[in-house]
Structures are given as C-alpha cells and as structure tokens.
Structure 1
Amino acid sequence: MSEPARQRTIASEIEFSGVGLHSGAECRVRLLPATRGGVVFRCLGREGDGAQIKASPENVVSADHGTSLANRDGARIGTVEHLMAALALSRVDHVIVEVDGPEIPILDGSAAPFVAAIAENGHERLSAYRHPAVVQEKIRIGDEKRWIEFEPFAGRRLDIEINFAGCLIGRQTLSIDLEDPEDLVRLSTARTFVRLEEVEALKNAGLIRGGGLDNALVVDGEKLLNEDTLRDQAEFALHKALDLVGDLYLVGAPIVGRIKAFRPGHDLNTRAAMALAKAAGETAQPISATA
C-alpha cells in the first residue's frame, strides 16, 4: 500500500494583482505559507484591516455569478472560486490569502495564472497527512432541472453536462479524471464566459464592472466575439467544471468519489459543498501519495 500523502503549503510568498471582475477595482493578493488552518483569507485595507475569513461552505454569503465569503463581523471577500480551484488543482492544503480589495482579481478569467505561479514557486511538504472527503454513500442536491450528485468511487472523477440552447455554447458533456495531469491543465486554462444578451442586465445589477474580452469569453448567438479562439473545444463545460472544483474545495479537502453535475452553478455548487461537508464528517481517511 502506498504511503499516505502529506499535506502541503506553498514554498514562499506569491503575489498577484489585477482588476476585480465584478467591482472593477484594482485588487492585490498575497499568498503566504501556512502549516495549518486550511485556506484562510485575510482582509487588508478598507475591506477589514486584518479580519480573517475561513474558506468553508458555512461562510458563503453570496453565490450570484461568483462565490463570496464573509465572517460573522461582516468582513467579506468576493470571487474566490478560481483561486480556490487553483489551490485544489495544485494540492495546496494550507495557505493564508491576504487580499487588498473587495475580491480576488480575475486575471485572464481562468485559474491558469494562479496554477502557474504556484508551480513555479514550489511546495513545502508538511508533517501531517492529507485527509480527503471520502464519499461513502450517494448524495444528490438539486432537482430535475439542475443537480449535483456524489457517488462512492475508487478514484476522483467529475462528469458534467451543460446546456445553453440557441447559441454557440450549446450542449456539452465532459468527463474529467481529477488525478490526470493533462485533464487538470485543461481545467485550469478554461476561461469564464457570458452571453452578450446578459451583459447589460448584469452591469445594471452592479456586476461584471471589470469584465472585458481580455478576461472573459463573450458569446453573441453563434459567434464568439473574442479575437482569440477557444483554448479547448469543451472550454465552456471545462470552465463550469473549474468553478465546481473551486467551490467544492471549500470543504477543505480533496474529494474521493465520483461527482456528477447537470447544469451546475455557484448557488448549486456551494449547497453541494455544504451537504458534502456535513456528510463527510469524521469519515475522512489519509489519502495515498499516488492519489
């Protein structure tokens, strides 16, 4: 039997800066090594002056076109999902995320810049073992129109289907092996997207003030308005899968099992994370070094 894998943090500080997708504000982020505590956001400046927010399903306060977390005192950080996905894909168990601004910067709309910086920086192996959330029985969240399901499975797999009828996105299905390095790269590079017909309403709602063709795919009917081509023919489904991976990492551990999702979104994702966290309880076991 393989030796259980040990938990990891980043080797040294990493900094990012850029515009926030929804606020349009300049946001700065610094990742700091930590030996315990999971993922903890620390608010700087006007956003909280050192207040801390644990990345957990219980601290989700909004899932409207992004995932926002807050603590009991009202300190809040928005748009955490791509960074959370990058930490999950990079197998970072513990880190402090200092944020000067209302949200995590959108960068290019994917998790790739975060993943690349973490890989270049390197990891530090800790003494404690990694304890995954092991799916012991079937769990289903949602209804017949939209749902997420967890099943026991000797591996880590994600099956997803999206359906945006009447436009370029259309119906896409995808199966991802969350232990396959090539699949993880495909996930990390998939960019967020929006339909042109939604843009005005989103802006009127105070969202996507920092959005543009440099950080999002914009679909107008059967056309892609970006000059760049798709990075993957399944990029739309891949990005929905990336968001799901990031939201589910709020449970604080990798998930061992099969995840099936039909038309997921942040609201459903975070509800699923809450259900899984409650179901996992004390059933987590050390994960092998090969997993």
Structure 2
Amino acid sequence: MSVSAHYQHTVAGPVIFAGIGLHTGEHVRVAVRPAAADAGVLFVRTDVTDRDNRVPVTADAVCQTQLGTVINNAADVRVSTIEHLMAALAALSIDNCVVELDGPEVPIMDGSSEPFVQILDRAGRRRQDVHRRYIEILAPIVVEEGDKLASLTPSDRFEVAFEIDFTSQAIGHQRVDLVIDEDSFREELSNCRTFGFVRDVEALRAIGLARGGSMDNAVVIDGDRILNPEGLRRPDEFVRHKALDAIGDLYVLGSPIIGRFEGVLAGHGLNNAVVRALLANPRAWRVRTLAMELAQAG
C-alpha cells in the first residue's frame, strides 16, 4: 500500500463527458469536479431546479436496485446506474468529488468501468491533507435470500469473490476471486461489460428499463449464443462484471473496505442489503486511519 493510500484524494481538475443512459435512453452530459476533504461523493442533477437537486452517496440513499443502483434524496431527486462510475472512483481512490449531470442516469458508456477510469485519468488526482478512513470488517456479516448470498468477513486487505451460475451455455458457472487494488481493478475487471438476455428486453422496456441498451454497451445473449460480433473481452467477463458491480455498490459506504466481500448469485439488491446489515451492526466493524497508525509506529 503506497503512502498516498493513507490520505484522501479528489480529482485534480474538472472533466466533462457525455453518453446515453442504459435504462432511460436519454443523452446525459456529466462533469466530475473536485470537492473538499470529507465531502464524499455528491451527485448534482443540474436539470432539476424546483427542489433540492443534491444527492449525496450513502448506503441509505439507495432506493432501487433493479438492474442497477439508484440513489435519491429527501426531495426524491434520483440518480440511476451509479455503480460503474462508483467502482472506478473506489478503485482510483477518489474519496471526494462532485458529479454534475443534466439527466436522471449516469451514462452507460461501453457497459464497463474502463471509460470512467480513462476519464478520471484525464482529470488526475490530488492528494488532500486529511487521513483516509477505512472500514475494517471485524466480524462476519452474511445476508441470504434463497440460494443467493452476500457476505463481508475479516481480512487484512480488500478482497472480492463472486460466483454465478446460468443455464445458458454462453455463461454457465463462473467464479472469480481477487485481491482488489488499483492495478488489479484496471487489469482484471475494469473493461468487463454488463450483460443481458434478448428474451428480457421487451419486458424491461415495457417497465421503462433498458431503453438505451444495445450491443454497443452490453454483452447480449440469445439462448446459448453471444450476439456481439466482437465476442467477449474475457472468457469469464460475466462474473468479472458482477465483481465490478459489487465494488461500486460497496463504495456507497463512503470509505474503502479492509475485508473480504463474497457474492453468490447476488445482485445490486443483496449487495446493498449486506452494506445496510453491516452499518446496523457497529460491533462488526471499526474505522481505521492508516496514517495515524503509521505515525504511531514511527
């Protein structure tokens, strides 16, 4: 762990990008701007002018988890599909920033976190002279729903394991188990795309979802076939994307984790459920400030 990991970071300067929302199909323009230490990640809906348009990222702000993570504020201003950007912010150790957007949904880009990593690389990072606070897992937290499971258990580093099992031969049974830091996220997970089945598209669009989905921003499966002409970026791209999602969903805690996450057949709902279960059990975790420990050791 580098010395810079002991301190909070924000983006060094503003960066602007635009794209289409996966579920709304709307074109959205986004600006990521620096924020003060201890500010956390704040979304601002610049298209909303009649009520509070600031939506801070917290575990309690998550209001919907169907095929994406949605947050809202007390005025019911919502921001959808935050998880891929949140995963990039987590991996690049961006603790504090303001994300301004002129629509209801973070653009899906190519369906992975890689475009967000590239955007944040353009912005650069600035170290802030405030110690970074980590959430250290002290005791197991397990949430189960039928055959699905999400857990947080003690570890001396941040680990993510995920397991999926689909009847489609295009996916089948897949498992990934990684120690997560910036390098491993960039190399092992960041370019892994979201995925969906042709059979579900019409039903999803009927309830206002997947209106912007295409083979430009998702791996599309029809039965046992992958329809994307370019194929997969990795043989196990599907489970790696689920691990990416989990990293973004966990970062609604507002601090990086020292501990192990494991998901079995889980999704955004169970990811958020284990976060809420952790916060509801204060004996299962503590806040660690590594810079203070380094000073004491010296």
Structure 1 length-normalised TM: 0.94
Helix, strand or coil: the match of 1:132? strand
Q: Which moved more, 1:10-19 or 1:143-152?
A: 143-152
Alignment pair present for 1:287 and 2:290: yes
Contact 2:92 2:182 in 1 (8 A): no
Q: Give the counterpart letter for 1:221 in structure 2.
A: G
Alignment pair present for 1:85 and 2:87: yes
Helix, strand or coil: the match of 2:170? coil
State the shift of 1:48 in Å.
6.1
State the shift of 1:280 in Å.
5.2
Q: What runs of 5+ residues in structure 1 fail to find an aligned partner?
A: none
Would the alpha carbon gap of residues 248 and 47 (structure 1) be closer, same or farther in structure 2, given more than 3 Å must change? Answer: farther
Count of matched residue positions in the alignment of Structure 1 and Structure 2 = 289
Kindly provide the CA deviation profile for residues 82-113 of structure 1, in whole angstroms up to 9, marking residues without a partner as x. Answer: 11111011110000111100100001001101
Q: Give the counterpart letter for 2:112 in structure 1.
A: S
In structure 1, how many angstroms separate the alpha carbons of the residues matched to 2:94 and 2:73? 22
Residue identity (%): 36
In structure 1, how many angstroms separate the alpha carbons of the residues matched to 2:153 and 2:47? 43
Give the aligned partner of residue 203 of structure 1: 205
State the shift of 1:70 in Å.
0.6
State the shift of 1:213 in Å.
0.6
State the shift of 1:180 in Å.
6.2
Q: Which moved more, 1:221-230 or 1:99-108?
A: 221-230
Q: Give the counterpart letter for 1:28 in structure 2.
A: R
Give the aligned partner of residue 296 of structure 2: none
Kindly provide the CA deviation profile for residues 135-170 of structure 1, in whole angstroms up to 9, marking residues without a partner as x. Answer: 000110123410111111111111110011133111
Selected match of 1:118 from 117, 120, 125:
120
Alignment pair present for 1:29 and 2:30: yes
State the shift of 1:63 in Å.
0.6
Q: Give the counterpart letter for 2:187 in structure 1.
A: V
Q: What runs of 5+ residues in structure 2 fail to find an aligned partner?
A: 293-298
In structure 1, how many angstroms separate the alpha carbons of the residues matched to 2:268 and 2:45? 22
Alignment pair present for 1:158 and 2:160: yes
Give the aligned partner of residue 17 of structure 2: 16
In structure 2, how many angstroms separate the alpha carbons of the residues matched to 1:121 and 1:279? 37
Q: Give the counterpart letter for 2:151 in structure 1.
A: E
Helix, strand or coil: the match of 2:68? coil
Helix, strand or coil: the match of 1:241? helix
Helix, strand or coil: the match of 1:189? coil
In structure 2, how many angstroms separate the alpha carbons of the residues matched to 1:53 and 1:46? 11
Q: Give the counterpart letter for 2:110 in structure 1.
A: D
Would the alpha carbon gap of residues 128 and 237 (structure 1) be closer, same or farther in structure 2, given more than 3 Å must change? Answer: same
In structure 1, how many angstroms separate the alpha carbons of the residues matched to 2:243 and 2:291? 24
Kindly provide the CA deviation profile for residues 57-100 of structure 1, in whole angstroms up to 9, marking residues without a partner as x. Answer: 10111111111111001111111111111101111000011110
Q: Which moved more, 1:265-274 or 1:106-115?
A: 265-274
Would the alpha carbon gap of residues 187 and 209 (structure 1) be closer, same or farther in structure 2, given more than 3 Å must change? Answer: same
Kindly provide the CA deviation profile for residues 30-58 of structure 1, in whole angstroms up to 9, marking residues without a partner as x. Answer: 10101231001111114767611110110
